[in-house]
Amino acid sequence: MTADYVREMPGARSATATDRLLPRGRHDLPPEFVARTQRDRLLDAMAHTVAARGYAGAALGEVCTAAGVSTKAFYQHFADKEACFLAAFDTGLELLQRQVVTAYGQPGRWPVRMRRGLEELLRVLSANPAFAALAVVEVTAAGPRALARRRALLDGFLAFFAEAPHRAGQPVPPPVAVEAVVAGVYGVIFDYAVSGRLAELPDELPALTYAVLSPFIGMRAAADTAGLNAGQTAPAAG
């Protein structure tokens, strides 16, 4: 994970870190820089506040205080709390998907690429607990527009199964089965996030890899790719 990537993920930094504060009073900073800095700090503050208080308990004033931004300045960027929440969700999701797609896109057989993508997903979320709380847990409490974002997020992961191999003589898993696999992984991540165990999430990579791959390549091959067989590590590429 690059330094730029860490800095951009909502909730990755303190919104009021010394190096992010703007000078008081008159200054010569470009208005565009001031606006961008305030907006980024509000996204960080939203992620931290929602992770601590929940969406319903995150008061707008508390978000502004955490960002070191006035309520007047808040309304220059967002219409309301929901709009700020959705902006934080969208910003982090774009970064997350970029990382997962990059990992999945590296050369290799489909099962190995799926393992890589899943590994990156778990790693990014475990390294960014504030964003994970916002995007996985609190998104379910933030209203219809947030739930639509969540649905789009899950649907987006279905595309990774388009290249799944078909075993001769075996039925093709129906679309609802693929949806169930994606929902199952989401459910595990949700449980780890809500119980404060995100740091342990990468440890579940072998088991989740096995669960994801089994319907498509069979239990034995899935166990091989996941590294679950005795004395075996997961394959690299190829």
Please report, for the domain that includes residue 95, its CATH number. Answer: 1.10.357
Percentage of residues of the chain with pLDDT beyond 90: 75
pLDDT band at 229 (very low <50, low <70, confident <90, very high): confident
Q: Is residue 133 part of a domain?
A: yes
Same domain for 195 and 97: yes
Same domain for 78 and 8: yes
Residue-level pLDDT at 233: 52
Q: What is the DSSP letter of 58?
A: -
Other Cβ atoms less than 10 A from the Cβ of 22: the count is: 13
Count of structural domains, the chain: 2
pLDDT band at 228 (very low <50, low <70, confident <90, very high): confident
Looking at per-residue confidence, does 73 or 35 come out higher?
73
**Cα gap 153→108, rounded to integer Å:** 25
Each residue's pLDDT tens digit, 98-121: 999 999 999 999 999 999 999 999
Rounded average pLDDT over 117-144 = 96
Rounded average pLDDT over 34-59 = 93
Rounded average pLDDT over 207-225 = 95
**Residue whose token pair is 């995150």:** 58
Is pLDDT at 24 greater than 70 in this prediction? no
Of the residues 37, 66, 82, which one is the last residue of a structural domain? 82
What's the pTM?
0.87
Same domain for 94 and 158: yes
Same domain for 122 and 58: no
pLDDT band at 3 (very low <50, low <70, confident <90, very high): very low
Which has the closest alpha carbon to 211: 176, 237, 191, 185? 185
Residue-level pLDDT at 163: 92
pLDDT band at 36 (very low <50, low <70, confident <90, very high): confident
User: 108 lies in which domain range?
Assistant: 85-226
Is pLDDT at 19 greater than 70 in this prediction? no
- CB neighbour list of residue 220: distance below 8 Å, 6 or more residues apart: none
